[in-house]
Structure 1
Amino acid sequence: MNEIALQPETQDIVVDEVFPHSPETIWKTLTSGALMSRWMMVPTGFEPVEGNRFTFQTTAAGEWDGVIHCKVLEIRANERFVYAWKGGHEGNSDYGSRLDTVVTWTLSKVEGGTRLRLVHSGFVTPRNDTAFKNMSQGWTKVLSKIGAVTDEQS
């Protein structure tokens, strides 16, 4: 077998929306821990600094304690925010299976506002199929919450 054949199949979640706000306003909503807690989950230890590690707490399952371990991988103010998103446990087969993914937020100025594109990449099939399905729906809701929180900041 060649190396490509040994690589697992992965899926990415992509959600894209245009908001009637400047990139700077959307950026503040994305990178403020206090605001982040309103559109996603309360982050513990979050700072928008490359290399910073932080966590989110969600519902535990099986051998997984529900902690999502994140690390800021890239910060380009008002343009790009990337972090690792790891959680789950090898002992879980559905909800709470081991997850090692990357979340990328890209902001682009467009006429009338900002295009916000989320790519949550690296869901390994079939192991992460449950997470992929649940989070595909969840991220769509998160973007609408980001819009509502940003509206309040304007």
Structure 2
Amino acid sequence: MSLALALDFQYTTTIEKLWSAITDSSKLAKWVLENDFKPIVGHRFQFRAQPNDYWDGIINGEVLVVDPPDKLSYTWAVGEEKHTVVWTLQDLGDGKINLHLDQMGFSNVHGLEGARHGWTAWCGELEKQLAQ
């Protein structure tokens, strides 16, 4: 069984600024985690968090789709779990941009709920970054 997460976030910004925030390594580090991300299809990268007793702090990824400024997709692998993350950007007009997240491949509801909590917190940080 494979579970999927879908979330939408609205930001008052430009689509270019939001695209940059999800594809620029130094900007990603400010709202997600330290990383060596590059928006190049096939690029392998890591997000790095503080290790703990349960996890080495490493998320491995590979870029799958780069379609600026509309769509970005990459794999998201932690231990045995391997997911696909897809970001879709949509200009709603009036200076509002919708950022839609699909994350597919969860093996259990605990992982899905953990991701929902994590992305909601991270996307709150993203809002602060965009406001600067």
TM-score, scaled to structure 2: 0.91
Tell me which of 38, 41, 47 is aligned to 1:47.
38
Match for residue 121 of structure 2 among 134, 141, 149: 141
1:26 Cα deviation after fit: 0.4
How does the TM-score come out when normalised to structure 1?
0.78
Correspondent of 1:14 among 6, 23, 27: 6
One of 66, 82, 107 as aligned partner of 1:124: 107
Q: How many residues align?
A: 130
CA deviations on 1:23-81 (whole Å, 9 max, x unpaired) are: 111001111111100101000x321111101001233445x533211000000011001
- Equivalents in 2 of 1:80, 1:114: separation in Å? 13
Distance in 2 separating the partners of 1:70 and 1:79: 20
Match of 2:86 in 1: 104
Instruction: Specify which of 38, 61, 64 is matched with residue 73 of structure 1.
Output: 64
Describe the SS at the equivalent of 1:65: coil
Point out where structure 1 has 5 or more consecutive residues left out of the alignment.
Answer: 1-8, 89-97
SS of the equivalent of 1:46 reads coil
Which residue type is aligned with residue 66 of structure 1? G
Q: Which has the larger radius of gyration?
A: 1
Q: Deviations over 1:79-121 (max 9, x none)?
A: 0010001111xxxxxxxxx211011110001122211001111
Unaligned runs of 5+ in 2: none
Tell me which amino acid in the other structure corresponds to 1:77: P
RMSD: 1.4
What amino acid does structure 1 have at the position aligned with 2:56?
Answer: D
Give, in whole Å, the separation in 2 of the partners of 1:123 and 1:151: 32
Q: Which residue of 2 aligns with 1:93?
A: none
